[in-house]
Amino acid sequence: MARILTGIQSSGKPHLGNVLGAIIPAIELSQKKDNESYFFIADLHSLTTIKDGDTRKNNVYEVAAAWLAFGFNTDQNVFYRQSDLPQVTELTWYLNCFTPYPMLANAHSFKDKSDRLSDVNAGLFDYPVLMAADILLYDANLVPVGKDQQQHLEMTRDIAGAVNHQAGKELLIVPEAHIQENVMTVPGTDGQKMSKSYGNTLDLFAPKNTLKKQVMGITTDSTPLEEPKNPDTCNVFALYELIANEKQVAVMRSNYLAGGYGYGHAKKELLNLLLEKFAEQRERFDYYMSDTALIEQELSKGAQKAQKVANEVIARMREALGFGVINR
């Protein structure tokens, strides 16, 4: 059985791009027979940029509520909050001491972030080692990530290799990256890639009025209502196509081509479809957010399951490195 592990950034309410590009595909992967998935919310990583505690806690809840709303099976898999297993910070220290400084100094994501951010802290620099600890602490075999994380995975493999070399045996499991090459890119309301950092999101879990405003704000050209329109260059159509069934898409296409059908009509259809198709998930999201103790229960169930392997791996490391034995 392959153990699949991935970290989810805890950056608050997921948008339509996160849902279609990350949540739904990961849940589908977790449903494959013979896979056991460890999915965790990477709240320790968020400390590199977010310092306010209430914001962090709420962001974790929103992310967790979204995954639960989409039906991630927390009985068959392991769903937890990174910081609930502090063993990961202990392992990070051990791994730090096997990580060559230039490896971190050359990380693309560090270079990129240190150019952009005003707060360039040591946590940001050490981010890839914490990520390696996330993976190695749970004996993960396979790590599905986007291309932007490929270098971090290579570092994880190198660090594990260095530890194993020192130990003279396979003390840590060297994971394989599962790079998702052709994941869909969901366009934002301005036609660029949908992203929180561009302020062009459709917030699937927002109240209806907010979502409506966002949909109505999708950029379109100025073709007059009566004239035929090109569906293939239109943002509204591109988004509709991602969620509608074949028949619905064909109907909208012919409406565009026929003329007399305005962008306002198309936006209304898109909004209605979003609300209808995701009605259940929106309701479940609100249900969890209105009672965050339920989320805490789910996360603590996951943390309990994750303890076992985490303690085993830490014990292996402590023994190999000559630290004392402690019982947890």
According to the binding rule CB under 6 A, does residue 145 interact with ligand TRP? yes
Asked whether the beta carbons of 123 and 159 are under 8 A apart, the reply is: no
Nearer to ligand TRP, 105 or 279 (CB): 105
What is the rounded radius of gyration, in angstroms, for the C-alpha atoms of the chain?
22
Nearer to ligand ADP, 17 or 175 (CB): 17
According to the binding rule CB under 6 A, does residue 137 interact with ligand TRP? no
Q: Which does 132 bind (CB under 5 to 8 A by kind): ligand TRP, ligand ADP, none?
A: none
Q: What value, to the nearest 5°, has the Cα angle with vertex 89 and ends 294 and 139? A: 80
Question: Which value, to the nearest 10 degrees, does the dihedral of the CA atoms of residues 314, 317, 321, 325 take?
Answer: 40
Tell me which amino acid residue 192 is.
Answer: Q
Quick count: other Cβ atoms within 10 Å of Cβ 277? Answer: 14
Q: Which residue is nearest to ligand TRP (CB)?
A: 7
According to the binding rule CB under 6 A, does residue 134 interact with ligand TRP? yes
As measured in angstroms, the least distance from the Cβ of 287 to ligand ADP is 23
As measured in angstroms, the least distance from the Cβ of 136 to ligand TRP is 10
Which residues in 35-94 contact ligand TRP (CB under 6 A)?
42, 45
Report the C-alpha gap between 263 and 225 in whole angstroms: 8
User: Which of residues 143, 270, 271, 289 is near ligand TRP by CB under 6 A?
Assistant: 143
Q: How far is CA 282 from CA 204, 250, 289, 317, in A?
A: 7, 27, 11, 44
For residue 273 the two structure tokens come to 């479809």
Q: Which does 151 bind (CB under 5 to 8 A by kind): ligand TRP, ligand ADP, none?
A: none
According to the binding rule CB under 6 A, does residue 179 interact with ligand TRP? no
Nearer to ligand TRP, 179 or 273 (CB): 179
Report the C-alpha gap between 276 and 2 in whole angstroms: 36
Asked whether the beta carbons of 121 and 155 are under 8 A apart, the reply is: no
As measured in angstroms, the least distance from the Cβ of 230 to ligand TRP is 35
Report the C-alpha gap between 133 and 91 in whole angstroms: 6
Q: Which does 17 bind (CB under 5 to 8 A by kind): ligand TRP, ligand ADP, none?
A: ligand ADP
As measured in angstroms, the least distance from the Cβ of 9 to ligand TRP is 5
As measured in angstroms, the least distance from the Cβ of 5 to ligand TRP is 6
Nearer to ligand ADP, 18 or 189 (CB): 18
Report the C-alpha gap between 62 and 108 in whole angstroms: 29
Number of helices followed by number of strands (H, E) in the chain: 15, 5
Binding footprint of ligand TRP on the chain (CB under 6 A) = 5-7, 9, 42, 45, 131, 134-135, 143, 145, 149
